[in-house]
Structure 1
Amino acid sequence: MTTALPFNHRTLALLRAVSAGRAEITASRVPDLFIDGLACGDQYTAHVLAQAGLIRPARPAAVGQRVPAVLTEAGRTALGTVQPAA
């Protein structure tokens, strides 16, 4: 599911951190995000990014377990990183 969000500096910074491999996410219906091992200071925005389908866990995990966070295709598009089809 994707929704229209306001892409502000904070939102884009979180997406860039996930893209750079610096983020972990908890497996949960309302996941928490960790950047460089520390809890993200704006969990509301992290929840919105997950619920909008822009970030997700890299692999299945037990509820509450931290795993690497990755961008979805929609997240990559939001950052403008999707390469055009050849």
Structure 2
Amino acid sequence: MTTNGYTARHRAMLQAIADGRGELVWGRIPSLTVDGRWCDFTATNELFAGGLFRPAREAVFGASAPAVLTTSGVQVLSSFATA
């Protein structure tokens, strides 16, 4: 897994999720908050569509759940450290 196409913003969002600071608000298009602040919508969608994070538990439309990294998300975050 490489960091191709991902920026420092993507890395920071992944790190925040890994640190347990991300909250996913479930909807037609999920939204992400870190420390209670909305994250970049485009970057959120790129990471989510890439399968790099998911809700920690089932969430109904409009509800929030902690965000957690997927295995792929952990790999991408680790590749930033070696890049």
TM-score normalised per structure 1 = 0.82
Q: For residues 36 and 45 of structure 1, what CA distance do their matches in structure 2 show? A: 17
What is the Cα deviation at residue 77 of structure 1?
Answer: 0.4
What is the Cα deviation at residue 28 of structure 1?
Answer: 2.5
**1:71 and 2:69 matched:** yes
- Higher RCO structure, 1 or 2 (CA under 8 Å, sep 6+): 2
Q: For residues 4 and 73 of structure 2, what CA distance do their matches in structure 1 show? A: 12
Determine the structure 2 residue equivalent to 1:84.
none
What is the Cα deviation at residue 5 of structure 1?
Answer: 5.2
List alignment gaps of at least 5 residues for structure 2.
none
List alignment gaps of at least 5 residues for structure 1.
82-86
Percent identity between matched residues is 39
What is the Cα deviation at residue 67 of structure 1?
Answer: 0.7
Q: Return the structure number with greater helix share.
A: 2
Determine the structure 2 residue equivalent to 1:58.
56
In the alignment of these two chains, the number of paired residues is 77
